[in-house]
Amino acid sequence: MREKWSNRGAFVLASIGSAVGLGNAWRFPGLCAKYGGGAFLFAYIICMLALGIPLLMMETAIGRKAQGGAPKAMRLVNKKAEPVGWAAVANAFVILTYYAVVFAWCILMCFLAFKFATTHSTPETASNLWAESVLNTSGTSFIPSEGRPNAGNISIILLLCLGLAWAFIYGCIRNGVSQVGKVVKFTVFLPVAMLLILAGRGFINNPHLGEALGALFIPKWEAFGNVNLWVAAMGQSFYSLSIMMAIMFAYGSYLKKTSNIAVDSIIIAFSDLAISVLSGIVLFTTMYSTGKTVADMSDSGVKTAYIIYPTAIVNLTPFGVGNAIFGFVFYFMLCTLAIDSAFSILEGVAAAVADKFKLPKKKTTLIIAIIAALISIVYITGVGVSYLDIVDNWTNAYSLIIIGLLEALFVGWFFKPKKVLNEINKNTDKFKMPSWWFITSIKILAPLALGFLFVWQIIALIKNGFRYEKSYDLAAEIIAGWVVTVLVFASGFIIKFVVKKVKNSAEIAEDEANELSWDDLDKQDKYEDEITTLVEESVENIPGRDSVEEPK
């Protein structure tokens, strides 16, 4: 029998934890700084309502109905859609391999925060701390050269932090969702508490407080005419809610049939938005309090967190120790944001593999974590940051968009989205997802938006000579970009080949014969509801039921 969330709160908190990640803490504020503050915030809210929330509900509902991970869920929609589910799983696995490294960077900076009071206590030295510690060199060649002596080297302290990161990731998920429900009670509320502390510091004795909040919340109206603003807002609305990454299919599959998907999805989405805004307040007030402005910020999360923000930390107070403490709080906050997102990705991958091959979930999770951990070592070499940059670009700018587009097309045009909507609106009276909102989004808005995003990225790629970054070696871009992307979308067919090798034709035919369609599951649910109602009515009608004492 499939494991279930212990209660509604566990699912909601776990989903918020998955959605609220490092992108909220640094990418969202960076995009606000780049695209007119309130203008980006307004555009993001529109995209979240029109696209993000309907897709979040869709994946959760299909996962609950299928009682399985992304491949099984997409197969329930259409048998030809199973490879789309596997592409989501494979892409999530790739993201996991480098997301763990970013988590390790956060752990590393927690340990090194004391240097903001000693050797790296000036803006210039503070901005170099991270690069020095991870032995970062530009380029993609592992062969050391005169200008890049650390190209193939590995920072020992970073290796230890990576090991610690993987221990935390696996430790949080090793016993399934029952353990996750306990973990998220701390890992969701803790970063909020620390963000509030950092925001409070940004408000105290800040001579530029009004400018900071104005830059964040007051829109620059001319920015609405910038196509890049809307492209960035659409992208952030997709990436920020853990959709198209196999996570919400898996999390939805652990829901009880009585769960309220419509209301819970609204809570998850707006909680994610609230923490993004709070993160924006922290970054803007902190930067402005030290005399910096939006001109000093970047939409690059890595640059913001590890190069720009340290230059502000060392000027927060006249006391080095105080700055070091605030530096530690900031990076520990990033750790708590990273861990929920990291183990939710691992869960989405493990659930799909365990479902398909009927493997023990705990063992599957451990094996996947070990494989991903070994691959992640590539990213902690001297040229690892460059490879991480390439892989991150391709998984997000291309793979994630194509997966979302295919999901929307299969559900909207090769299935009946009304059936998914009925699943979403089960068990809810106060709020029901309107048909015009959900179906318009899944059938029209999401395919158009994702299709536009994909074309936009392809045009940018062509303009750049089919390269992401010309300073990187062509071979590195081909391997870490093109080849990885092809493998992501070939994963479903590779899995099909493996299944044929592992199982004989009779076993495969039996599995397919035992599959239930969406309509079959509807009938099954209806039958179970009728039985439950009859049992409850029978119990209520037992003579003298109210006078019977409960056993002691």
In this predicted structure, what is the pLDDT of residue 468? 87
pLDDT 10s digits, 132-149: 998 887 777 777 766 666
pLDDT tens per residue, range 446-486? 999 999 999 999 998 999 888 888 888 889 999 999 999 99
251-275: pLDDT as tens digits: 999 999 999 999 999 999 999 999 9
Can you give the pLDDT at residue 151? 66
Q: Is the pLDDT of residue 504 over 90?
A: no
Q: How confident is the model at residue 549 (pLDDT cuts 50, 70, 90)?
A: low
Beta-bridged to residue 154, according to DSSP, are: 381
Task: For Cα atoms 130, 134, 101, give the angle at the middle one, nearest 5 degrees.
Answer: 100
pLDDT tens across 32-80, in order?
Answer: 999 988 999 999 999 999 999 999 999 999 999 999 999 999 999 999 9
pLDDT band at 294 (very low <50, low <70, confident <90, very high): confident
Residues 75 and 356: their CA atoms lie apart, in Å, by: 11
Q: Does this model's pTM top 0.85?
A: yes
262, 232, 265: which is closest to 449 by C-alpha?
232
Query: What pLDDT, on the 0 to 100 scale, is given for residue 505?
Result: 75
The tens digit of pLDDT for each residue in 359-374 reads 999 999 999 999 999 9
Instruction: Give the burial class of 541: count Cβ atoms within 10 A of its Cβ; 0-12 exposed, 13-18 middle, 19 or more buried.
Output: exposed
168-195 pLDDT, tens per residue?
A: 999 999 988 888 988 998 889 999 999 9
The residue among 520 and 532 whose pLDDT is bigger is 520
For residue range 317-327, list pLDDT tens digits in order: 889 999 999 99
Q: What is the pLDDT of residue 88?
A: 97
Please tell me the predicted confidence (pLDDT) of residue 482: 93
- Across 390-419, average pLDDT: 95
* pLDDT tens digits, 20-31: 988 888 889 999
User: Residue 550: is its pLDDT beyond 60?
Assistant: no
Query: Are the CB atoms for 69 and 85 separated by under 8 Å?
Result: yes
* Segment 119-129, tens digit of pLDDT: 999 999 999 99
Query: In Å, what is the CA distance from 532 to each residue of 87, 167, 218, 523, 536?
Result: 38, 43, 54, 14, 6
Which strand (E) or helix (H) includes residue 547?
none
DSSP 177-216: HHHHHHHHHHHTHHHHHHHHHHHHHHHTT-TTHHHHHHHH
Could you give the CA distance from residue 241 to residue 245 in angstroms, rounded to a whole number? 10
Which residue reads 């720009």 in tokens? Answer: 308
Joined tokens for residue 370: 């070990």
pLDDT value at 432 more than 60? yes
Range from 8-17, 68-77, 262-271, 539-548 carrying the lowest mean pLDDT: 539-548
Query: E-assigned strands of 79-206?
Result: none
- Taking every pair of Cα atoms in the chain, the longest distance, rounded to a whole number of angstroms, is 91
Dihedral (Cα; 205, 211, 216, 219), 10-degree rounding = 160
Q: In which band, very low, low, confident or very high, does the pLDDT at 441 lie, cut at 50, 70 and 90? A: very high
For the record, the structure tokens of 281 come out as: 């307040």
Is the C-alpha dihedral spanning 236, 243, 496, 346 positive or negative? Answer: positive
CA distance 418 to 411: 10
Q: How many CB atoms lie within 10 A of CB 2?
A: 11
Please tell me the predicted confidence (pLDDT) of residue 544: 60
The mean pLDDT of the chain is 90
Q: Is the pLDDT of residue 199 over 80?
A: yes
| pLDDT value at residue 147 | 64
> Does residue 197 come out as left (phi exceeding 0), alpha (psi in the -120 to 50 range) or beta?
alpha
Judged by average pLDDT, the poorest of 233-237, 416-420, 492-496 is: 233-237
pLDDT at 435 over 70: yes
Select from 88, 94, 115 the least CA-distant residue to 403: 88
Q: List Cβ neighbours of 452 (8 Å cut-off, separation of 6 or more).
A: 231, 234
**Could you tell me if 525 and 427 are in contact, meaning their C-beta atoms sit under 8 angstroms apart?**
no
The answer to whether residue 543 scores a pLDDT higher than 90 is: no
Continuous segment of H or E residues that includes residue 300: none
Confidence of residue 328 (pLDDT cuts 50, 70, 90): very high
CA dist., res. 105 & res. 162, Å (int)? 8
Q: For residues 480-497, give the mean pLDDT.
A: 95
As a whole number of angstroms, the distance between CA 275 and CA 281 comes to: 10
pLDDT tier, 375 (very low <50, low <70, confident <90, very high otherwise)? very high
Alpha-carbon separation of residue 159 from 100, 104, 133, 163, 164 (angstroms): 11, 8, 11, 6, 9
| Residues 81, 409: Cα–Cα separation, whole Å | 10
